[in-house]
């Protein structure tokens, strides 16, 4: 799908984040817009029709070592937060209003339940990585709001259901359209690469092998498996 600048996303869409934590492997974050059915108009005038409930994944953050597939950079939660904030400012998802107040457009997110477990090396009062994400952090001298995530569905069978949902949603993008689909823009090359190359497990054909590079596809499962009701905004986001 063509790149969709964040400023072209209609104000009635719900914008969310998804996250998957990796240590030796990469961590990944995705930004997605959920359509309220409003048409998207790109800067060149091209118009994209949508169905209410369409998911459009339009930006990614992936901490993969250059030239080393499925190997993480060792980025900490603090470093990932800073990079994610920088990305949201660049996209116009964090901006200052006329009074100088910082507005953060994405307010909800979903993440692997592993980040909600208290860190074992921090003692009895240990915080989880989710707690670290919530904390405000300084970026370029400005204190910025942190990131709030809800736990992804990790119930029995959720992986199988998730892969099936991705396939079903992608099939739903083929005209004539009747059901909400899943669209991924060219601004997400790592998601496109890893999703297209994801192998089937020969022992469990409805799943992928345990060591596959499935981090961003996992985030996609988490996003699709969570209920995010679109909301109607009373004010249009600032256009950059």
pLDDT digits (tens, 9 = 90+) for 72-130: 999 999 999 999 999 999 999 999 999 999 999 998 899 999 999 887 666 666 789 99
Alpha-helical runs (H) found in the chain? 77-91, 129-134, 158-171, 189-196, 215-224
Do the bridges between strand 108-111 and strand 150-151 make them parallel or antiparallel, or are there none, so unpaired? parallel
Residue 102 and residue 108 in contact, taking contact as beta carbons nearer than 8 Å: no
pLDDT at 123: 60
Distance CA 111, CA 128 (A): 13
Q: How confident is the model at residue 229 (pLDDT cuts 50, 70, 90)?
A: low
For 193-212, write each residue's pLDDT tens digit. Answer: 999 988 887 777 777 777 88
For 1-52, write each residue's pLDDT tens digit. Answer: 888 988 899 999 999 999 999 888 999 999 999 999 999 999 999 999 999 9
Task: Kindly state whether residue 108 falls inside one of the protein's structural domains.
Answer: yes
If one counts the domains in the chain, the total is 1
pLDDT at 121: 63
Residue 225 and residue 153 in contact, taking contact as beta carbons nearer than 8 Å: yes
Task: Kindly state whether residue 1 falls inside one of the protein's structural domains.
Answer: no
Range of the domain at 204: 6-224
Q: Of residues 205 and 239, which shows the higher confidence score?
A: 205
Task: Kindly state whether residue 229 falls inside one of the protein's structural domains.
Answer: no
pLDDT at 197: 86
- Whole-Å CA distances, 32 to 3, 136, 167, 212: 13, 22, 17, 23
- Percent share of the chain, pLDDT over 70: 92
State pTM to two decimals: 0.90
Which CATH number characterizes residue 144's domain? 3.30.420.280
Task: Kindly state whether residue 239 falls inside one of the protein's structural domains.
Answer: no
């Amino acid at each position: 799908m063509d790149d969709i600048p964040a400023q072209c996303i209609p104000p009635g869409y719900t914008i969310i984040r998804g996250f998957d934590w990796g240590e030796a492997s990469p961590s990944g974050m995705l930004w997605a817009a959920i359509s309220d059915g409003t048409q998207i108009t790109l800067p060149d005038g091209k118009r994209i029709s949508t169905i209410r409930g369409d998911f459009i994944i339009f930006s990614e953050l992936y901490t993969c070592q250059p030239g080393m597939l499925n190997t993480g950079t060792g980025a900490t939660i603090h470093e990932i937060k800073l990079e994610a904030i920088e990305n949201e400012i660049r996209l116009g998802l964090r901006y200052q209003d006329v009074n100088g107040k910082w507005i953060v457009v994405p307010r909800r997110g979903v993440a692997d339940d592993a980040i909600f477990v208290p860190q074992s090396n921090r003692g009895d009062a240990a915080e989880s990585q989710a707690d670290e994400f919530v904390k405000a952090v300084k970026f370029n001298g400005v204190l910025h709001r942190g990131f709030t995530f809800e736990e992804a569905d990790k119930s029995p069978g959720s992986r199988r259901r998730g892969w099936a949902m991705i396939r079903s949603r992608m099939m739903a993008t083929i005209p004539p359209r009747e059901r909400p689909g899943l669209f991924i823009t060219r601004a997400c090359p790592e998601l496109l690469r890893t999703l297209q190359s994801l192998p089937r497990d020969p022992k469990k054909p409805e799943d992928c092998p345990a060591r596959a590079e499935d981090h961003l596809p996992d985030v996609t499962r988490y996003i699709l498996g969570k209920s995010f009701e679109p909301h109607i905004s009373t004010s249009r986001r600032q256009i950059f």
